[in-house]
Amino acid sequence: MIALWVILGLIVIGILWIIGIYNGLVRLRNEVKNAWAQIDVQLKRRYDLIPNLIETVKGYMTHERETLEAVTNARNVAQQVSDSAGAGERAKAESELSKALSRLLVTVEAYPDLKANQNFLALQEELTSTENKISFSRQYYNDSVLRYNNKTEMFPSNFVASMTGFKASEFFEVELAAEREAPKVSFS
């Protein structure tokens, strides 16, 4: 009779242990989803700022049409990359938008009146702040993916993960080496 209680106790402990691992995996997967959503929040903020920035700049930069169009096109492409797209595809589209914005800010240097315009300065500050927040959100996302992937790949939780369908998440990475380098922007 004691042996039966011991076996039953071990089974209950085993079940509780599996439930604990499963719940930990769910928590980490949801953390990854939340981190991805935080990137979306910051990207939406950037998408909202760009038209205001372009409208402010348009009046001053009548002959810089291609730079303005490049920013607008890059914004539209980045916005159209769906949520179902992988992190790599999103990273590429966002990188193109960042490059176009950098070119715009470099071009602004030729327009001293624009650089002194309060609306432009406020928008530029907001955009800079948003870019920093996007970077932090991407870092948080990658940290969340690392924790989740470690949990799905490390013993013994990898057994529970494979039995219950948990798969590794994709990191938000820049694919091209040139995109990893900081853009050269001069405000002199």
Summarize the confidence of residues 161-179 as an average pLDDT.
80
137 near 42, Cβ under 8 Å? yes
Residue ranges per structural domain of the chain = 2-180
How is domain 2-180 classified at the CATH fold level?
Answer: de novo design (two linked rop proteins) (1.20.1440)
Q: For residue 50, give the amino acid letter.
A: I
The pLDDT tens digits of the residues spanning 21-72 come to 999 999 999 999 999 989 888 888 888 888 887 777 776 666 567 777 788 8
126 near 56, Cβ under 8 Å? no
Q: Which two tokens stand for residue 170?
A: 């994709």
Q: With helix as H, strand as E and coil as C, how does 41-98 read?
A: HHHHHHHHHHHHHHHHHHCCCCCCHHHHHHHHHHHHHHHHCCCCCCHHHHHHHHHHHH
pLDDT at 170 over 80: yes
The pLDDT of residue 59 is 67
Residue 13 Cα distances to 22, 25, 56, 62, 117, angstroms: 14, 18, 65, 73, 68
| pLDDT band, very low/low/confident/very high, at 188 (cuts 50, 70, 90) | very low
The pLDDT tens digits of the residues spanning 28-37 come to 999 999 999 8
